[in-house]
């Protein structure tokens, strides 16, 4: 399995190469005749960069816990996940081959995503209401991935403004992960209402997460600006596999010690990027390449 995971980036690279090799060679150099120019414009290579922000949503598929109740419902301790509440960021290199309205794009991306969850524990004495303690655990996960998406885009209009729709598949290679746990609480048994909070515990959590894959769909708008093309792109990335490492969900003593176990979960992202694309094939010495 690990071998397959290591091979995946290589596979994606091969995919890009296959696309390159599939392009037939032009013979006879650049062509200036109008009908031939249109034909020329049916194909184009674009290289570019994009950057932007993302909002993550973790969906637990199977819950795990360290703290196991013996006299109350487990659901009272369940973690509550926030959805699309924390902004992350990403930077993308884009290599796209355009052909007759369709684009085939490889977009390796460095993505930093964040999501949060919280849970609460309470101890009390039914015979003495003053004997009560409430603890709140707020946990933030920061994940860094190298994403390798393969995307197919379709240009809805082929004018100066070029709206497009896109679908794709991606594989996310985990680069790093961190967790920050903030513990706060209210102690009613100390002769008053003692509200306290501790400094967050920050731990490396790479062992708790794993690589994953998913599907994406979205839309965007490209605008021809001179010889280049600026792009605004929005997409929804749906995680299709578990992002947690099932073999080390209790692997961090620091987290297990405070009662945290990693749930199985899938990670969705809403990704917005803006960038610029550069054509790789030019029409003439005037470098006019676009249909302007």
Residues found near another protein in the complex (CB under 8 A) = 1, 4-5, 7-8, 11-12, 14-15, 18-19, 21-22, 61-62, 64, 66-72, 104, 121-125, 128, 131-133, 135, 150, 169, 171, 185, 189, 201, 210-213, 240-248, 250-251, 253-254, 256-259, 261, 264
Q: Which is nearer to another protein, 37 or 248 (CB)?
A: 248
Distance of closest approach, residue 183 Cβ to another protein, in angstroms: 8
- In sequence order, what are the beta bridge partners of 273? 52, 233
CA 77 to chain centre: 28
- In sequence order, what are the beta bridge partners of 148? 171
8 Å CB contact between 185 and 196: yes
Distance of closest approach, residue 275 Cβ to another protein, in angstroms: 24
Q: Which is nearer to another protein, 73 or 285 (CB)?
A: 73
Distance of closest approach, residue 62 Cβ to another protein, in angstroms: 5
Angle at 26 between CA 23 and CA 27, to 5 degrees: 150
Q: Which is nearer to another protein, 6 or 288 (CB)?
A: 6
Radius of gyration from C-alpha coordinates of the chain: 25
8 Å CB contact between 90 and 148: no
Backbone angles phi, psi at 80, to 5 degrees: -105, 115
Residue 143 CB: number of other CB atoms within 10 A?
Answer: 24
Strand 102-106 and strand 212-225: the pairing is unpaired
Q: Which is nearer to another protein, 145 or 224 (CB)?
A: 145
Distance of closest approach, residue 284 Cβ to another protein, in angstroms: 30
Distance of closest approach, residue 260 Cβ to another protein, in angstroms: 10
Strand 83-99 and strand 109-125: the pairing is antiparallel
Distance of closest approach, residue 223 Cβ to another protein, in angstroms: 28
Q: Which is nearer to another protein, 55 or 243 (CB)?
A: 243
Distance of closest approach, residue 171 Cβ to another protein, in angstroms: 6
Q: Which is nearer to another protein, 80 or 253 (CB)?
A: 253
- Half-sphere exposure in the Cβ direction for 185 (13 Å, CA): 17
CA 168 to chain centre: 13
Q: Which is nearer to another protein, 5 or 39 (CB)?
A: 5
216's tokens: 């994406």
């Amino acid at each position: 399995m690990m071998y397959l995971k290591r091979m995946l980036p290589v596979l994606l690279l091969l995919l890009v190469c296959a696309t390159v090799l599939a392009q037939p060679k032009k013979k006879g150099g650049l062509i200036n005749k109008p009908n031939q120019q249109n034909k020329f414009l049916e194909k184009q290579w674009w290289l570019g960069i994009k950057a932007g922000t993302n909002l993550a949503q973790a969906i637990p598929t199977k819950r795990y816990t360290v703290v196991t109740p013996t006299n109350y419902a487990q659901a009272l301790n369940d973690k509550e996940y926030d959805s699309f509440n924390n902004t992350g960021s990403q930077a993308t290199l884009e290599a796209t081959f355009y052909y007759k309205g369709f684009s085939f794009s490889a977009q390796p991306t460095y993505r930093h995503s964040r999501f949060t969850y919280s849970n609460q524990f309470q101890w009390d004495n039914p015979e003495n209401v003053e004997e009560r303690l409430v603890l709140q655990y707020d946990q933030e996960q920061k994940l860094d991935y190298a994403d390798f998406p393969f995307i197919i885009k379709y240009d809805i209009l082929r004018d100066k403004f070029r709206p497009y729709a896109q679908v794709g598949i991606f594989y996310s290679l985990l680069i790093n992960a961190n967790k920050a746990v903030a513990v706060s609480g209210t102690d009613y048994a100390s002769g008053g209402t003692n509200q306290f909070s501790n400094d967050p515990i920050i731990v490396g959590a790479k062992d708790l997460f794993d690589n994953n894959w998913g599907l994406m769909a979205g839309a965007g708008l490209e605008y021809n600006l001179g010889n280049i093309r600026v792009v605004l792109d929005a997409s929804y990335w749906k995680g299709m596999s578990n992002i947690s490492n099932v073999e080390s969900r209790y692997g961090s003593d620091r987290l297990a010690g405070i009662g945290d176990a990693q749930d199985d979960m899938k990670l969705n992202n809403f990704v917005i990027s803006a960038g610029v694309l550069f054509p790789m094939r030019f029409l003439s010495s005037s470098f006019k390449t676009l249909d302007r």
